[in-house]
Structure 1
């Protein structure tokens, strides 16, 4: 059977202006690999816990203490739990609580000339780690946009001179996806 490719739109919930990515991933990827795709596509560094919610079931890394009831993401293939038109959720960093909405926009046969995974498009940089979730990110954006803001210099020093919230490079993301996912 030919390899199936899933076209996914990953949108970061609760953030304005929107931060999103459109990626192509093999349907045979486990949810663990899908986790890595989201991490690299959004610019996260995999410093925190995460989980997927698909049709009311939670998937992630099993908790050795049994406190979190998660199905093992290593045992579940993407094409076994979602199809074209499916929506599911990915939460990263249970402190900052970054929710991602994932939509399977299309499913098609792999092009033998293409390398997967791939990033087709997207908009805006992902928020920095540990910024305080959507509310903290909005506060950061407000401080960075206003040189007269009382927190402007502190926030600029914290994120560094190279952070540009409007920047996004699909080619760079595609390279990261192929290298690490």
Structure 2
């Protein structure tokens, strides 16, 4: 049983308006599970590589059958707890997802709370804005896509609508859906596709 609960805010760097989630997690949660929580809370599909960064150290999962792992400076995060990196209120670390698109997130420890025995963790408390679409080209590509979708006469409008399979509401956020997913296997995080 965790000694305390961490209230963290996960915010997508460079997004305007700000895309963020506030989540309660056990202080003894392994980084591998924090990754799953972030994927579900933000709305990502877990289809790309990721890492946590604190100071000048990189924490990532070992990618099986990848000889290049030995050539990295990354630390295998399987035995690293979130409390090993975030120790006091206002401590921060980075979470990077999809190195091609470069989705960078700030993870800030906002509060250290007592464990509520009646609560189920993780728990999404609040947030704003919909998650960007996977493979949309980072923050800049996503902003471009949103601008195109506002102009039905734009030459790329039909292509984006076909790619999306319909409309996209960039303001959509529903914490109850996230909390339902958190009750699923792997906190609702999809299996890695590679």
| TM-score band, normalised by shorter chain | over 0.9
| Residue matched to 2:177 | 172
Q: Which deviates the most, 78-87 or 113-122?
A: 78-87
Structure 2 counterpart of 1:101, from 78, 98, 106: 106
Q: Report Cα offsets for 1:126-169 as digits up to 9, x if no partner.
A: 01111111111011110112222221121122112253111000
Find the counterpart in structure 2 of residue 52 from structure 1.
Answer: 52
Choose which of 75, 80, 92 in structure 2 pairs with 1:76: 80
State the TM-score, normalized to the length of structure 1: 0.94
Q: Is the 8 A contact 1:11 1:21 kept in 2?
A: yes
**CA contact under 8 A between 1:118 and 1:178: conserved in structure 2?**
no
Q: Quote the offset at 1:68 in angstroms.
A: 2.2
What is the aligned partner in structure 1 of residue 190 from structure 2?
none
- Conserved? CA contact 1:52–1:59, under 8 Å: yes
- Show structure 1 runs of 5+ residues with no match: none
Kindly tell me the number of residue pairs found equivalent between the two proteins.
Answer: 181
Distance in 2 separating the partners of 1:175 and 1:77: 24
Using the TM superposition, give the Cα deviation of residue 67 of structure 1 relative to its aligned residue in structure 2, in angstroms.
2.7
Q: CA deviation at 1:81?
A: 1.8
Structure 1 stretches of 4+ with a deviation exceeding 3 A read: none
The offset of 1:3, in angstroms, is: 2.9
Distance 1:80 1:35, change over 3 A: same
Calculate the aligned-residue CA RMSD, in Å: 1.4
Q: Counterpart in 2 of 1:110?
A: 115
User: Relative to structure 1, is the Cα distance of residues 44 and 109 closer, same or farther in structure 2, using a 3 angstrom cutoff?
Assistant: same
Structure 2 spans left out of the alignment, 5+ residues:
188-194
Equivalent positions of 1:7-18 (< 5 A) are 7-18=7-18
1:41 has 2:31 as partner:
no
- Give 1:55 shift: 2.4
1:34-92 Cα distance to aligned partner (Å, 9 max, x none): 00011111111111110100122110012542132211111101112212210110000
Cα distance per residue 1:13-36 (max 9 Å; x no partner): 112121100000111111100000
